[in-house]
Amino acid sequence: MLRGVYRLFSWEHSYFSGKARAYLRYKHHCGDLGEGYEDILATPELIEGLLTPRSGSGAVPQLEAPDGTWIQDSSEIIDYCEAAHPRTPVIPDPETLPRQCLASYLIELLADEWMVVPGFWERWYFSEEGHAFSHLRYNEQQWGSVIAPDASGEQRRAAGAAFFEAAFGISHSRTRPKGVYAGLVHLGVNERTEQAWQASQHRILEVLEAHFSIHDYILGGRPSLGDFGLLAPLYAHLYRDAVSGFALRTHFPLVSEWVERTNGENALNARRYGQRLYSLNENGNLVGRVANTDGGEWLPDDAIPETLMPLLQVFFQEMWPVLSDASAVLGAYIASDAHRPDGELPGKTFTATPGFEEQQTGEGPLTHPFEIGGIRSRRMVVPYQIWMLQRLNGALGRSLATPTGRSAVTGLVEPFERGEELLAMDDLLAGCKVRKRGARLFSS
């Protein structure tokens, strides 16, 4: 076990920081993170002088381990810490818990790379001029506090506002989209698909509201990778941002309660993991009991909660066709003359990667048609998603290696249309292998 303090570089308002932070907090709370971690605001000074030189990207979160190892990416942060601190795992073992393991990875992928679209949309739509509800001022403040941390309150907000104009062209977001607004277009959001993305998000929230009525976490009474994955869209964008946060608390109170529980701060009513509830015995003395559902454990016998199946259904119906098509398009691009062997690939999720705009926009070779809610549109290939699929496939391979594992996994995916395609992922991924070095991606 590594001794010493981890350093997390993050922003409170960042999608993937919420995921990594809650994970570290949970491990620390379980006494399974050595001497714990310090959460450090990733100011522009640190991004320029430390994060970018170490990883090749200024994206947050990034983690420095006590021995100086540098880790960029929320999923790699979790993988690294799980290997270094295995006592209270958050990823079910692929050999003994193959179904729960697969469900965890699928939900993480759905949350990280599909729900990102409507989550990202909520933040920026309600920061535009002209809508009945706006969280622009709050959003300026939360960004300004990172951009100009030493300035006065008003100046911090002004710094946020100036940044939104310079980087995102917020006053002309619809006519000349730039930065985050261009990113939404690259990911397949436009006036025709906007409502369908929203509907996808509502469908997921309804499923979760029903699930959290019965179970405290995704797999039962203890958090797992799927919970931390889901916290990415649900914490910074859907819970904290004011307009979406109001809607979430109003329409999905159980999901809101789960956000507090999984984030693990200010969560007394929400029953943070490991919390005890107390009664009084006949002598008036306090007697404690486990507060979380399911005895504070994942469901026994590798069971998948029935209420989780509709969430996996969303994955197979909406996201899997996109991942499958994107893999083929990426494979063709890697094999083409436009790409040199082992050359660099776009690394970003939220927007086309600088240097790859031509390939990832319009009808470029790294774009493809897709469908959301029955509406056809076009979006960019995100090679990082293929890297995530590879990572998932590594665990899946271990599950499929034994007859019992194979039969468990087959039973889980069989009910879904195209579900069994997952079992042949080796073939799908053979032509589009992606290597990750720091934050940069390369074909391999």
Ligand X SMILES: N[C@@H](CCC(=O)N[C@@H](CS)C(=O)NCC(=O)O)C(=O)O
Q: Are 347 and 57 in contact (CB under 8 A)?
A: yes
Q: Whole-number minimum distance, CB 345 to ligand X, in Å?
A: 14
Q: In terms of CB distance, is 15 or 217 closer to ligand X? A: 15
60 burial class (0-12, 13-18, 19+ CB within 10 angstroms)?
Answer: buried
Could you write out the DSSP letters of every residue in 356-408? -HHHHSTT-TTEEEEEETTEEEEEE--HHHHHHHHHHHHHHHHHHTSHHHHHH
Q: In terms of CB distance, is 102 or 382 closer to ligand X? A: 382
Q: Whole-number minimum distance, CB 59 to ligand X, in Å?
A: 3
Distance from C-alpha of 58 to C-alpha of 44, rounded to nearest angstrom: 9
Q: In terms of CB distance, is 162 or 254 closer to ligand X? A: 162
Q: Whole-number minimum distance, CB 74 to ligand X, in Å?
A: 3
Q: In terms of CB distance, is 17 or 201 closer to ligand X? A: 17
Q: Whole-number minimum distance, CB 425 to ligand X, in Å?
A: 20
Q: Whole-number minimum distance, CB 112 to ligand X, in Å?
A: 6
Distance from C-alpha of 371 to C-alpha of 188, rounded to nearest angstrom: 9
Residue 406's alpha-carbon distances to 98, 388, 414, 425, in angstroms, are 8, 21, 12, 14
Shortest CA distance to 7 belongs to which of 84, 62, 54, 82?
A: 62
User: CB within 8 A of 102, min separation 6: which ones?
Assistant: 94, 392, 395, 396, 399, 409, 412, 413, 422
Distance from C-alpha of 244 to C-alpha of 134, rounded to nearest angstrom: 10
Cα 296 → chain centroid: 24
Q: Whole-number minimum distance, CB 71 to ligand X, in Å?
A: 10
Residues forming contacts to ligand X in the complex (CB under 6 A) are 14-16, 58-61, 73-75, 348-350, 384
Q: In terms of CB distance, is 83 or 268 closer to ligand X? A: 83
| Half-sphere exposure for 339 (CA within 13 Å, toward CB) | 22
Q: In terms of CB distance, is 14 or 100 closer to ligand X? A: 14
- DSSP class of residue 298? B
Q: Whole-number minimum distance, CB 388 to ligand X, in Å?
A: 8
Q: Is the dihedral of CA 50, 47, 392, 98 positive or negative?
A: positive
250 burial class (0-12, 13-18, 19+ CB within 10 angstroms)?
Answer: exposed
Q: In terms of CB distance, is 319 or 408 closer to ligand X? A: 319
3-state secondary structure of 243: helix
Shortest CA distance to 299 belongs to which of 192, 226, 379, 250?
A: 226
Distance from C-alpha of 176 to C-alpha of 199, rounded to nearest angstrom: 26
Q: Whole-number minimum distance, CB 260 to ligand X, in Å?
A: 20
Place of tokens 């859907």: 238
Q: In terms of CB distance, is 170 or 291 closer to ligand X? A: 170
Q: Whole-number minimum distance, CB 73 to ligand X, in Å?
A: 4
Q: In terms of CB distance, is 16 or 138 closer to ligand X? A: 16
